[in-house]
Amino acid sequence: MQNRNILIIGGGIAGMEAAGQLLRLGWEPVIVEKNERLGGHVAKWYKLFPDMMSAADLVQTLTDGIKEATVYLKTRVASMNRLKDGYSVVLSNGVSLQCSAVLIASGFHLFDAAKKEEYGYGVYDHVITNADLEAWFGGAPDNRVPANPGQVAFVHCVGSRDLKAGNAQCSKVCCMTAIKQAIEFKERFPGAQVWCFYMDLRLFGKKYEDFYINAQKDFGVHFVRGRVSEVSEDIDGRVVLKAEDTLAGLPVKLRADLLVLMSGMLCNSDTAALASMVRTEVDSDGFLRSRDNIYRINESRREGVFFAGACTGSKTVPETVAEARAAALDIHNYLNGNA
């Protein structure tokens, strides 16, 4: 009889949604998650654009859908061997199992903002990242956020579109995240002046442009087209940033009480190891290489190995969820011989 186990590597929203769908299709998903909890990055976010839905509610909905799945937390895949029809797998917790198909849903890594030394993350007192700000919105105390900020600056494209940071790609979600966070910031501090320093505003998704218009019209967020070239700290501990306002053609300087760096989405640093374990390839952008990037994003170039979510490139939540469902169906069809 066919083995009904499907190994899912990564318990972020991609792995969770795929597991929920596979259960409904009659399979037995086994989620292997290296962290101590499910939900991946989304479990650390506060509200999700474009509906400003609670991220915790989404993770809860996904958790409810996988009650019957086997979940191993704080676990990794130790080794994997190809069998005639499937894989034999040994996990870091000593469990060994056989599965008919593998879904990689290992997601992304946030760019380490400290690597862009010119922005002073970890050095100056009031420099945080987009991820830090999500945590603060969610209630985590952070003494880098001043009690009564007068000016706040968001720097776009930190570790994205930057060959010197080793990542030529656009991370795609951070323009929208910046505007989402700028609005949330203004809601809490209506008196603050909020500035976004961007190179291009990439607001590609459903209703994203509405956020831009609202940020301008209802919240008075300022937009400056220019990349911040360097940041320093003045004697009062404020952050001083320099950029060119490329539309005015003039150098500009801003003193801010808080600087928020929009760190980009990079491939997970486990990607190369995972790829070699299932003997598939890494793409030129560092993410996992799909069979193609148009029709078969969910398929690896290796028999029985599938992908979902941000392990193949920057994705939004709805894109990730849609891909996870598609991957579940692809696996179902593959195992039923319909592929």
Partner 1 sequence: MPDFGFSLSKSSSVSLDSLDLGLYGELERLEPGVKTCMACGSCSAACTASVWSGMSVRKLILNLQRGKDVEKMLGSCMLCGKCSMVCPRGINTRHLILSLCRIYKKQ
Q: Strand 86-91 vs strand 96-99: parallel, antiparallel, or unpaired?
A: antiparallel
Q: Are 11 and 36 in contact (CB under 8 A)?
A: no
Please report how close the Cβ of residue 300 comes to ligand FAD at its closest, in angstroms.
15
Q: Kindly report the backbone phi and psi dihedral angles of residue 291, in degrees, each rounded to the nearest multiple of 5, phi listed first.
A: -60, -45
The two beta strands, 101-104 and 5-9, are parallel
Q: Please tell me the count of residues contacting partner 1 according to CB under 8 A.
A: 23
174 binds ligand SF4 per the rule CB under 6 A: yes
Q: Beta 258-263 vs 151-158: how paired, if at all?
A: parallel
Compute φ and ψ for 275, nearest 5 degrees. Answer: -60, -40
Out of 42, 66, 157, 258, point to the residue binding ligand SF4 (CB under 6 A): 157
CA distance 320 to 195: 30
Stretch touching ligand SF4 by CB under 6 A, among 45-53, 132-140, 156-164, 300-308: 156-164
CB of 123 to partner 1, least distance (A): 18
What would the two tokens of residue 325 be? 């469902």
DSSP string, 245-256: ETTTTEEEEEEE
Tell me the three state secondary structure of residue 110.
Answer: strand
- Of 122-151, binders to ligand SF4 (CB under 6 A) are none
| DSSP reduced 3-state for 97 | strand
CB under 6 A: which stretch of 122-130, 155-163, 252-260, 318-326 binds ligand SF4? 155-163
Residue selected from 12, 264, 286, 309 as contacting ligand SF4 according to rule CB under 6 A: 264
CA distance linking residue 160 with residue 137, whole number of Å: 24
Number of residues that bind ligand FAD (CB under 6 A): 39
Write out the two tokens for 144. 């880098």
- The structure tokens listed for 110 are 């946030």
Binding mask 181-200 for ligand SF4 (x = CB under 6 A): -------------------x
Please identify which residue in 116, 161, 180, 238 interacts with ligand SF4, judged by CB under 6 A: 161
Which of the residues 222 through 281 are near partner 1 (CB under 8 A)? Answer: 225-230, 242-246, 249, 251-252
What residues make contact with ligand SF4 under the rule CB under 6 A?
A: 156-157, 160-161, 170-172, 174-175, 200, 202, 262, 264
What residues make contact with ligand FAD under the rule CB under 6 A?
A: 9-14, 32-35, 40-42, 45, 48-49, 76, 105-108, 110, 130-131, 134, 173, 177, 180, 265, 268, 270, 274, 309-310, 315-318, 320
